[in-house]
Amino acid sequence: MKPTLLALLTAALLASCAPKTETTTTADGTAVETTTDTTGVDNPVAEGEGATDNASDPGVDSTLTNNDDASTGEEIDMAVGDGLEGTVTDFDGTAQTFTLNENDANYAVTITPETVFEGAATTAEEFFGTDRADASVAVEGEIDEAASTLTANKITLN
């Protein structure tokens, strides 16, 4: 009897950890299926938010599948709209600015004295001391979609 009870309890526990699927009906009668991740982890990629690249709205881009050196935490931050990854264009080492091309959208990137540099260049002087045109970078910070600007909190040179 004990092995049967143990098997039933184990099955119930495993079932309670599975994502829940719920169907709701909208006002116009359309059925909408929603999956809820019950593991307690906010995973926007697994839940569909940012699951694919979207050039018209880069704020929902997934960066988890692009084979760069960013950590999973950094990738998740960027996937939920706190940063972007792309290629450096219009590099100006003197003004310490550049344009980031991400999914064919361009963002004018500026830094502050608090901006952190990681990867192949760990200071502003190292980063801007060499022409970084066409370099691959990840930039976290404040994105202004309307003005196509990004004030960098952290820049990671890949």
Q: Is residue 25 part of a domain?
A: no
- Domain count for the chain, please give it: 1
Residue 64 domain-assigned? no
In a domain, 15, yes or no: no
- Report how far apart, in Å, the C-alpha atoms of 117 and of each of 15, 53, 78, 124, 139 are: 44, 25, 16, 7, 9
Q: Is residue 88 included in any domain, yes or no?
A: yes
CATH number for the domain spanning 126: value is 2.40.50.140
Which amino acid is it at 45? V
- Residues near 88 by Cβ (< 8 Å), separated by ≥ 6? 98, 99, 100, 101, 132, 133, 134, 135, 136, 137
Alpha carbons 21 and 80: distance in angstroms, whole number? 23
Return per-residue pLDDT of the chain as tens, 158 residues.
567 766 666 766 666 666 666 666 666 666 666 555 544 444 343 434 444 444 444 444 444 445 555 566 655 555 555 678 999 999 999 999 999 998 878 999 999 999 999 999 999 999 999 999 999 999 999 888 888 999 999 999 98
As a whole number of angstroms, the distance between CA 56 and CA 52 comes to 12
Token duo for residue 17 = 């950890």
Residue 117 lies in domain: 83-157
Total-model pTM: 0.53
46 occurs within a structural domain: no
> 55: how many CB neighbours lie within 10 A of its CB?
10
